[in-house]
Chain A
């Protein structure tokens, strides 16, 4: 697998009109890369992606794709180098899954859009790679968000460009679809030697699944690295700094800062239960301590307040504690 540079940028500034959103961008994408573009909402992720796709013009500096300057490429040339999955869906009423994937062959077919043997083969492969065979003839308007996202990825893949750019591909997906999608992106980059750049505001997803992250930092520039690196250098803390949150160094998650003034003694053999009960108690300002006036015992899945009532569930216990 070669590691040639697909896309590079130098002194790049992007934005709309006179408004500069990101500046001094020095970035590089190599083939086989899977890169997550991370940043808070409204930080300019879409703007950067749209610039790379050629939908927006750079304000300053240049972007090179396979050694050629982006603004010198015409629409047709660019479409063979970069394909895109956007958050918009167009008017897909009446189109089947296969119809949409077929449209990905637009830059490769003749004036009448006639599909050759090669086009058909690629369309079939893309549908297979995303496990869409069973949905092939379904109407796209009747699919779930997760399925539709896969259809549009298959379409981008059928375009057969070395770089695929995805704008917020996981945003409207539930957790299992998110995981599946990330696995698919990984599979695409390996099976087809494609580079993928996708945006997300989901820090936990990036931390969990992405080895390479571009982080939009507080100076409106982009730094490239691994999420873990951003954690131990403190970049991420600075970026998402908020008086109500702190970064939990054990798991890299942002947690709410809670005032835990009340104390509670909790007796339980199971450390997992203890840990999650403590987590629940934090939401109502309680903290488990070894010494406290109030003591709760956990046995046979019930909570017994010493010298008081017995509760069947944790939420009942919380209700009781809140009223105290």
Chain B
């Protein structure tokens, strides 16, 4: 790792810490920074502040960080795998697959007339979401074998999104109101009000995947030269494909199950990392995306909490950031569209 990478890592890390404290401090009740410190150190006597920090804001900050980092790493792997800068779990419809599977899971209860206990239903939703995501990823791989081109995958993602929302509408029409509400709340996407267990699940998935993705680093690097070169250099492509698929599905699936479909972080974080670290080396990019993804998650959550009386939906913020980002990227890389 070059020397200047270290500095950028340090700067990004400070940015992350700063945003983290901003989220802890800001909200309907403003808590001064020095109070936050003493609460975190366990030395505060203000029990209201302490409860707000420990029960509301810390889980919220933690959730936005882990979700952002997970989606960023999933996006990075998809972009390298498909050799397509527009790839990402949201734009390519991995989220739609997860949504569909979760909708099935939440609403199928009312079809067969049973209700699961809460903990079991969380795990069930997570597993459905991972399987749904993996299914779409698998479809994308099949399509990319037959059709080359950057835009076709995007179109696939869009089409699958429509298809999924069609099916979900059908499901909604036969489900009882309470479950529809559960599903709709989930589908808006949110980093707030997550339980300790949910956060644990999220961080375990992220931790395993982060380590695993580092083991993939060398192989992701060689894939920059294209599939044929990678194979001729000894890459076992079939195994590699399976690992990338599983990893992306776990990362994106876990986030989607717990936070709902969160848009655009997966596509933005890798681009921002490549830019600020000016590197294509995945051993730099994976930790880089971990940081920038976390920052993006925190940033979006911070903005969404700025409204005094009401909390803005996280996907509204991410849509406002992400759609122009992709538009500018496309305008800046017009050549890519014609390939």
Q: Choose the segment among B30-38, B160-168, B224-232 that binds chain A (4+ C-beta atoms closer than 8 Å).
A: B224-232
Residue B201 is within 8 A (CB to CB) of chain A in the complex: no
Q: Do B218 and A54 touch across chains, with their CB atoms under 8 A apart? A: no
Option from A83, A92, A109 in Cβ contact (under 8 Å) with B224: A92
Residue A86 is within 8 A (CB to CB) of chain B in the complex: yes
**Do A99 and B283 contact each other (CB < 8 Å), given the known contacts A55-B232, A79-B233, A107-B234?**
no
Option from B218, B228, B274, B278 in Cβ contact (under 8 Å) with A106: B218
Number of interface residues of A (CB under 8 A): 33
Interface centre among A74, A75, A79 (most CB of B within 10 A): A75
- A contact residues around B224 at 8 Å (CB): 90-92, 95, 103
Residue A58 is within 8 A (CB to CB) of chain B in the complex: no
Option from B222, B232, B278 in Cβ contact (under 8 Å) with A54: B232
- Across the interface, name the chain B residue whose C-beta is closest to A103: B222
- In the assembly, what is the distance between CA of A4 and CA of B226, in Å? 32
- Across the interface, name the chain A residue whose C-beta is closest to B234: A79
Tell me what chain B mostly uses at the interface: helix, strand, loop, or mixed: helix
- Across the interface, name the chain B residue whose C-beta is closest to A88: B226
- A contact residues around B225 at 8 Å (CB): 89-92, 100, 103
- Across the interface, name the chain B residue whose C-beta is closest to A90: B226
Task: Say which size band chain B's interface belongs to.
Answer: 20 to 34
Residue A296 is within 8 A (CB to CB) of chain B in the complex: no
Q: Do A75 and B231 touch across chains, with their CB atoms under 8 A apart? A: yes
Q: Do A84 and B232 touch across chains, with their CB atoms under 8 A apart? A: yes
Residue B280 is within 8 A (CB to CB) of chain A in the complex: yes
Residue A227 is within 8 A (CB to CB) of chain B in the complex: no
Q: Which residues of chain A from 75 to 89 have any CB-CB distance to chain B below 8 Å in the complex?
A: 75-80, 82-84, 86, 88-89
Option from B221, B237, B279 in Cβ contact (under 8 Å) with A113: B221
Option from A80, A93, A111, A112 in Cβ contact (under 8 Å) with B234: A80
Q: Nearest Cβ in chain A — how far from B284, in angstroms?
A: 11
- A contact residues around B229 at 8 Å (CB): 84, 86, 88, 90, 103
Residue A32 is within 8 A (CB to CB) of chain B in the complex: no
- A contact residues around B233 at 8 Å (CB): 79, 83, 103-104, 106-107, 159
- Across the interface, name the chain B residue whose C-beta is closest to A84: B232
Q: Do A112 and B222 touch across chains, with their CB atoms under 8 A apart? A: no
- A contact residues around B217 at 8 Å (CB): 112-113
- In the assembly, what is the distance between CA of A104 and CA of B221, in Å? 11
Residue A222 is within 8 A (CB to CB) of chain B in the complex: no
Q: Do B228 and A88 touch across chains, with their CB atoms under 8 A apart? A: yes
Interface set of B (CB-CB < 8 Å, partner A): 83, 215, 217-218, 221-222, 224-226, 228-229, 231-237, 274, 278-281, 283
A-B contact pairs, 20 of them (CB 8 A): A75-B234, A75-B237, A78-B232, A79-B234, A82-B232, A83-B233, A84-B232, A86-B228, A88-B228, A92-B225, A94-B279, A103-B221, A103-B222, A103-B225, A106-B222, A106-B235, A107-B233, A112-B217, A113-B283, A159-B233
Given contacts A94-B274, A106-B222, A113-B217, 10 further A-B contacts (CB under 8 A): A75-B237, A83-B233, A86-B228, A86-B232, A89-B226, A93-B280, A106-B218, A112-B217, A112-B283, A113-B283
